[in-house]
Amino acid sequence: MEYCSLCGKGTERMIPKGDTHHRYVCSSCGKIHYSNPKIIVGSIPIWEKKKVLLCKRSIEPGFGLWTLPSGFMENHESAEEGAIRETREEARANIQIQNLHTIYSIPHLSQVYLLFSSILMDSNFSPGEETLEVKLFGKDEIPWDQIAFSSVAFSLRHIWDKNREQIEDKPERTVYSGCFIKSDQKEESESIKKAKLNRPISS
Ligand SMILES: [Zn+2]
């Protein structure tokens, strides 16, 4: 940020007193311009405990690849509301949120994904503006080589109940936490862990 959004004067990149990170600080009015990670919220819409709803993207990044309905959280909404909204926008689908299923961090992009397992309420779904196609996939039908984002692949890998066909109905309030490590783009972090929601997420 070259110019201050408050007064329009030039900014300077520096560590403000008492801070730990470089910030853009206005050299005139002193406003500190913080830049923090973006939160992406989305749903894992599950149909009759066996299939999951995916959207084929009509926009970049990931044009023509499959994703869970998700997008940037808006101001003044809860994470759950954002997930429901994104699912309506991208898949024109109605869901009921069950619980937080995935926390996935992408530090080099400063992004955090929050994906909620959800019940797909009916089969009235269709492509939204950013979607080419919406489709239900069973466990053996997931197009693993055509998944748009590592966060989505991570989440999908963890929705089925162990090696059974059925998607976890009562997932014991398990949250799956993953992290994309840039130095090794083939695999997610080994810090993947399960955590119970009613306990602190420990490392
Ligand atoms: Zn200023």
Measured in Å, residue 33 CA sits from the centre of ligand 1 at 9
| The dihedral sign for the CA sequence 97, 98, 101, 103 | positive
CATH 3.20.20.140 fits 1-35, yes or no: no
Provide the whole-model pTM. 0.84
Distance CA 201, CA 104 (A): 13
Measured in Å, residue 21 CA sits from the centre of ligand 1 at 19
Distance CA 190, CA 184 (A): 11
Tell the CATH superfamily of the 38-196 domain.
Nucleoside Triphosphate Pyrophosphohydrolase (3.90.79.10)
Give per-residue pLDDT as tens, 82-125.
999 999 999 999 999 999 999 999 999 999 999 999 999 999 99
Give per-residue pLDDT as tens, 126-146.
999 999 999 999 999 999 999
Measured in Å, residue 38 CA sits from the centre of ligand 1 at 24
Q: What is the dihedral of CA 70, 76, 81, 85, to 10 degrees?
A: -50
CATH 2.20.70.10 residue ranges for the chain: 1-35
Distance CA 126, CA 101 (A): 24
Measured in Å, residue 23 CA sits from the centre of ligand 1 at 13
